[in-house]
Amino acid sequence: MRKYRRLKGHKTRASRFLEEVAVKQPYLFVHWQRGMAGAFA
């Protein structure tokens, strides 16, 4: 949320953004590959 100005102060929007990234690019982090992509908020 601190890195992106449009997500600042919007926890729901930030978690939704991360979930979309996890679906589109699951290879970025190992825990995303193992199915833990919904554990943001």
Q: What is the pLDDT of residue 16?
A: 86
Helices (H), 1-41: 11-24, 30-33
Contact (CB, 8 A) for 13 and 7: yes
Does the pTM surpass 0.75? The reply is: no
12-41 pLDDT, tens digit each: 888 888 888 888 888 888 877 777 655 554
Domain that holds residue 31: 1-41
